[in-house]
Amino acid sequence: MGGMGTDANDTSALTKKGHSCVRLEKGGRTLVIDPGGFSEQDAALGADVLLVTHEHADHFDELRLRAAMEANPAAGIWTLRSVADQLSGAFPGRVHTVGHGDTFEAAGFQIEVHGELHAVIHPDMPRITNVGYVVDGLVFHPGDALTVPERPVKTLLLPLHAPWNKFSEILDYVRAVSPAYVYDIHDGLLNDNGLAVLGRMLGEGGPGTGGAAHGHLTPGESVGLAR
């Protein structure tokens, strides 16, 4: 991918904000992905860049997004059309529609869009659109899909548990992406027992991730990111 400047190496911190929501911070700027209904109430506040992978309520909460946009008149939202159409009238010129293959810069973050469709929940349920985001060539958030990005990434945010996945699929997904680090997302439906079982399976007590180091962040917990 082109357009990656030297400051693409500066992404410094990732913070879990509950379920599938994460914050990335560098140089005084903040990017938030998927502040949905299962994330912390203030998950989107303070964001300069807001990315939404798809329209399901656990990823897209209109009130959280509106609060963030109203608090920061310079903030913008980048998302697929199904979400953008619900927001663009309220924030003209600040809601941007993106799709697979797009690249753009926002508030100093370099962002690539990968993927097109949500994973299959059941054949009786129509598939909706879903995109994932690679930020600064470093970390990939796939939304609700097991999209293998068309480029290497060091850190993968792994949808750990959902009505549309099973353990063998997520393990094979980690191996296919082949990151150095894996952090759980999409874990809001799990209790402590479920987290412990899946954590063990992705760690030394399981079949192995193919070399990726697996970590679980609690809401509000942060980790440093570096190339």
The answer to whether residue 6 is domain-embedded is: no
The pTM of this model reads 0.94
The answer to whether residue 133 is domain-embedded is: yes
Rounded CA gap, 74 and 25, in Å?
A: 16
The answer to whether residue 128 is domain-embedded is: yes
Mean local confidence (pLDDT), 163-191 = 96
Number of domains in the chain: 1
8-58 residue pLDDT tens: 455 589 999 999 999 999 999 999 999 999 999 999 999 999 999 999 999
The answer to whether residue 208 is domain-embedded is: yes
The answer to whether residue 109 is domain-embedded is: yes
81-120 residue pLDDT tens: 999 999 978 899 999 999 999 999 999 999 999 999 999 9
What is the strand order of the sheet 222-224 is part of?
Answer: 95-97, 76-79, 49-52, 29-33, 22-26, 13-16, 222-224
Residue 3: pLDDT over 50 = no
The answer to whether residue 175 is domain-embedded is: yes
- For 217, the domain range is 12-224
Both tokens of residue 58?
């656990």
| Average pLDDT in the chain | 93
Residue 115 belongs to a domain with what CATH number?
3.60.15.10
Rounded CA gap, 120 and 132, in Å?
A: 16
Rounded CA gap, 94 and 171, in Å?
A: 38
